[in-house]
Amino acid sequence: MKRLSLLLAVALGLAATVSARSAVIECWFVEDAGGGKLAKKPAALLLRQGAESPPPRPDLAPERYLKVHAVLTVFTHTPTPRIRMGQDALLDLSFAYVPLTPKAATSLVPGPPPFGLEWRRQHLGKGHLLLAVTPGLNGQVPAAQEGSVAFAAWDDDEPWGPWTGNGTFWLPAVQPSQEGTYLATVHLPYLQGQITLELAVQKPPKVALTPAPLVWAAPGEAPPELLCLVSHFYPSQGLEVEWELRGGPEGRFQKAEGQRWLSALRHHSDGSVSLSAHLQPPPVTSEQHGARYACRVHHPSLPALGRSAEVTLQVAGLSGPSLEDGIGLFLSAFLLLGLLKALSWAAAYLLATQNSTEKKTE
């Protein structure tokens, strides 16, 4: 195998668990061309778990197989953080540095090398420097933007390495305008490692249904239009509204029939949006009494089942105040009044006869 002096910087976006057998990641080979010159070449690296031998590549001469040693590794456990609107974002970043030749290090001062850290946001093709930290590297440090803070430090202080560092970035009260690609770069004197994170902001919708909690209709007539207010959510994409009829005669759970439509989006000053979904149910039958109309909302910020609100259908004549019920109520009241009158007469009569018997016995 050809002996080459190679420095390798690797950027890894790790999901919480690395389950894939192999993963293609991006990295650069930084080749020491001698005389202090460094050449940076893009390359793709196939990572394999376990100590398998490299896959045969007949198109490559055997001397092109290089056993490389990653010296600077930059990685994150949250490559696509989803942050609830208004909450703080903690963009996790770690890096590790392994000196290539421990003997070479003896000529230097012991301890981890100085490093620099940069966090940028890429939005609509424009880069925006949010924060730069250069402990040990003498440079002009611009003020951090948008209240951001970075925990830029080596975690260990071993004299000859390897060392791990923490470059976690904290952004307070995240708003939709702060969505985008975040680029973190770790600079070492001869190397740099970069990683990108995709920050998405989310806000789950509030769901309310009117009229509530009951909607009335006579048999054979259509209930009034139902309005489902889906409010203050973000992003506007990925919202779905379903109408269901629960507990009707044809089974426990079915899609509600009727005409449905969505209003236009209303934009709020905080960047969130609202809309209303409408349903005009078809005429109802008395068997549908007690069934519930529900509007179910799906959004990326909500669990798979979504969020729903419901209203109970009352078909008049079954338990509502129908005309017959009204007459019945009137008659009952009339009879009760009559009974009370009769009782009071009886009581007066009894009292009068008692008084007269008492008088007789005196």
Ligand X SMILES: *[C@@H]1O[C@H](CO)[C@@H](O)[C@H](O)[C@H]1NC(C)=O
Nearer to ligand X, 168 or 312 (CB): 168
Candidate list 14, 26, 146, 151; residue touching ligand X; CB under 6 A: 151
- Taking the complex as a whole, the smallest distance from the CB of residue 166 to ligand X amounts, in Å, to 4
Nearer to ligand X, 150 or 309 (CB): 150
* The 251-255 sheet, strands edge to edge: 214-217, 307-315, 292-298, 240-248, 251-255
Rounded CA separation 191/186 (Å): 8
- Taking the complex as a whole, the smallest distance from the CB of residue 223 to ligand X amounts, in Å, to 54
Candidate list 134, 145, 148, 168; residue touching ligand X; CB under 6 A: 168
Nearer to ligand X, 96 or 284 (CB): 96
For 183, the enclosing helix (H) or strand (E) is strand 180-188
Nearer to ligand X, 112 or 248 (CB): 112
- Taking the complex as a whole, the smallest distance from the CB of residue 132 to ligand X amounts, in Å, to 18
| Other beta carbons within 10 Å of 223 | 23
Rounded CA separation 230/242 (Å): 12
Q: Does 94 bind ligand X (CB under 6 A)?
A: yes
Nearer to ligand X, 151 or 190 (CB): 151
Which tokens belong to 348? 């007066």
Nearer to ligand X, 145 or 166 (CB): 166
Q: Does 276 bind ligand X (CB under 6 A)?
A: no
The DSSP letter of residue 203 is B
- Taking the complex as a whole, the smallest distance from the CB of residue 23 to ligand X amounts, in Å, to 21
Nearer to ligand X, 28 or 119 (CB): 119
- Taking the complex as a whole, the smallest distance from the CB of residue 150 to ligand X amounts, in Å, to 9
Nearer to ligand X, 65 or 151 (CB): 151
- Taking the complex as a whole, the smallest distance from the CB of residue 151 to ligand X amounts, in Å, to 4
Which tokens belong to 318? 């079954």
The DSSP letter of residue 173 is S
- Taking the complex as a whole, the smallest distance from the CB of residue 83 to ligand X amounts, in Å, to 15
Nearer to ligand X, 166 or 175 (CB): 166
Q: Does 148 bind ligand X (CB under 6 A)?
A: no
Give percent helix, percent strand, percent coil of the chain, each to the nearest 5. 15, 45, 40
Rounded CA separation 277/228 (Å): 5
| Other beta carbons within 10 Å of 304 | 5
- Taking the complex as a whole, the smallest distance from the CB of residue 168 to ligand X amounts, in Å, to 4
Is 245 in contact with 310 (CB distance < 8 Å)?
Answer: no
Is 78 in contact with 92 (CB distance < 8 Å)?
Answer: yes
Candidate list 122, 134, 145, 166; residue touching ligand X; CB under 6 A: 166
- Taking the complex as a whole, the smallest distance from the CB of residue 98 to ligand X amounts, in Å, to 17
- Total number of residues that touch ligand X (CB under 6 A): 4
Is 152 in contact with 94 (CB distance < 8 Å)?
Answer: no
Rounded CA separation 187/193 (Å): 7
What three-state secondary structure class fits 354?
helix
Question: What does residue 356 show for φ and ψ, rounded to 5 degrees?
Answer: -70, -35
Question: What does residue 349 show for φ and ψ, rounded to 5 degrees?
Answer: -65, -45
Residues that bind ligand X (CB under 6 A): 94, 151, 166, 168
